[in-house]
Amino acid sequence: MKKSNFLFFTSLFFSSLSYGQEFVKGYVYDDANGNGKMDKKEIGLAQVSVSNGIEVAQTSDKGYYELPAREDQVIFVIKPTGYQSPLNENNLPQNYYLHKPNGSPADFKYKGVSPTGPLPKLLNFALIKQEENDNFKALIFGDPQPYDEKEIEYFSKGIVSEVVGIKGVAFGLSLGDLVGNDLSLHSPYIKAVKEVGLPWYNLMGNHDMNFDATADSLSDETFEANFGPVNYAFNVGKAHFIVLDDILYPDPRDNKSYWGGFREDQLQFIENDLKYIDKNHLIVLAFHIPLMHHEEDAFRNNDRQRLFDLLKDFPHTLSLSAHTHLQRQNFYTKEDGWQQEKPHHEYNAGTTSGDWYSGELNEQGVPISTMRDGTPKGYAFITFKGNEYSIDYKVAGKPADYQIELFAPKILPRNKRTSAGIYANFFMGAKGDDVLYRVDNGPWKKMEYVEGADPNFLDILHKYDHSKILLSGRRPSNPEDCTHLWRGVIPTKLTVGAHQIEVKATDRYGKISTEIINYEIAEQAN
């Protein structure tokens, strides 16, 4: 892929300025020489979508588009398959133009967009041709969320260093909470992720907002200045990605805090965008707050229903979210308002910050930061094959095949009944998955799905609470019920000595993972 080293907006060619115009118009073109200008010999690209955040227009045979103009909007091209928007020096796609004639509110704590003046007479978007396969892989980060420069360092050393220069991956995507309230950290976050070496997409989390905003439409001013639109879309292969800001701030119920949901203009954008998408393609929605079908307090039910209504004719869908600092597989059925027989899958991704950079420091000097459901911190890879997908979770600092954390007592008395059990935390698991165990290569037995605190995570907390010396790092948060936990009965009618427990788990994609743990049987003195 050809990479542009131009500064911001060099992918856009402005022929002249027009004041008070009713339309934004221009061309989308194949920038064959990569100079960021539409030269006479460069051709316009047909049937490419361009949007102002509400309406979506497709280009003519000559690449021409026209959209209604408004006083405050972000105009962006929706990357078609086989092309890439130019990247800036930080590997961020330059697929947009910020139109804010008066700029962002001047009294915001964190700087937004400077006044941009009138629209150019022609607003042209460059695209660079690249080879794209219908089979590709994406790298997903949940909640980096550093609150200071030290935590930026933890993120860089503990996560980014593992994937620097990674091959065979089409792009990266961070699912919000790029930083923790201090929006000046957007810049060091961008520099950290740049090192991965991939085109990188970002979406806004509730800790990336301007808390000075008195209207939701103004809560993204600094994000727009640093990253571009908060609502946008792009295509790769037979997958269509829609990236959304799903945080309503201030919360319209009490004008405080925030609420999960969408504004009317966002839902209009989704509806207009989907008009041009093949019904047989995979629709991937990415947002920060999960749709949370069981919690009206977390997400506005009417907005979720309207989203589901817009997707009713698309049989291949996936949602990506983060925010919870847990890892979950959420499935939405007709009972939740989903209008298809096959449930809608939402992958609520584990986070790169884990449990907010808590826990003891490892050999890198980075907090272990296991999440409250016992999922170790990490990141995900999504493999796309046409309109199908599979997801793999990669635990930071561990081999790729480390997918299960086991718990069992270390020693038990022979032939004695026990309330102890074997626990398997299958990180990518969900209720209904097949999880089996066997002892000493005996017959396989089914483990029972349970929801409760992960015993290994409780061990971490107990270590802090029982220690008589101060441990490194910060005590983690209190536990949350794990939604991917299984329990098995542990046998004691065995010979004295060491015994092996093997667990085998099969995920929803048919991938099998195994893990082994040992325990000891001993004679108990009378």
Low-confidence residues of the chain, pLDDT below 50?
1-20
Give whole-number Cα distances, 371 to 109, 226, 430, in Å.
32, 29, 17
Whole-number pLDDT of residue 2: 42
Which of 27, 23, 18, 83 has the alpha carbon at shortest distance from 58? 27
Residues linked to residue 330 through DSSP beta bridges, in sequence order: 346
The fold of the 132-395 domain, in CATH, is Purple Acid Phosphatase; chain A, domain 2 (3.60.21)
Whole-number pLDDT of residue 294: 64
Residues linked to residue 489 through DSSP beta bridges, in sequence order: 421
pTM assigned to the model = 0.94
Give whole-number Cα distances, 236 to 4, 27, 37, 349, 409, in Å.
19, 21, 24, 21, 48
Q: 274: part of which helix (H) or strand (E)? A: helix 264-274
Whole-number pLDDT of residue 85: 96
Could you give phi then psi for residue 155, rounded to 5 degrees?
-60, -45
Residues linked to residue 29 through DSSP beta bridges, in sequence order: 44, 126
Instruction: Determine the Cα–Cα distance for residues 493 and 20; give it in Å rounded to an integer.
Output: 85
Residue 131 — left, alpha, or beta (φ > 0 → left; ψ -120 to 50 → alpha)? Answer: beta
Tens of pLDDT, residues 147-194: 999 999 999 999 999 999 999 999 999 999 999 999 999 999 999 999
State the DSSP code for 326: S
**Pure H helices in 275-349:** 301-310
The fold of the 404-522 domain, in CATH, is Immunoglobulin-like (2.60.40)
List % helix, strand, coil for the chain (3-state, nearest 5).
Answer: 15, 30, 55
Same fold, 1-131 and 404-522: yes
CA 33 remoteness from chain centre: 34
Q: What is the dihedral of CA 8, 10, 15, 19, to 10 degrees?
A: -10
Sequence spans of domains, the chain: 1-131, 132-395, 404-522
Instruction: Determine the Cα–Cα distance for residues 151 and 515; give it in Å rounded to an integer.
Output: 32
Number of H helices, E strands in the chain: 7, 30
1-131 falls under which CATH superfamily?
Answer: Immunoglobulins (2.60.40.10)
Q: Other C-beta atoms within 10 Å of 122: how many? A: 17
Which of 237, 172, 170, 227 has the alpha carbon at shortest distance from 204? 227
**Rg of the Cα atoms in the chain:** 25
Whole-number pLDDT of residue 22: 87
Instruction: Determine the Cα–Cα distance for residues 94 and 126; give it in Å rounded to an integer.
Output: 9
Whole-number pLDDT of residue 525: 78
Instruction: Determine the Cα–Cα distance for residues 442 and 458; give it in Å rounded to an integer.
Output: 30
Contact 124, 38 (CB under 8 A): yes
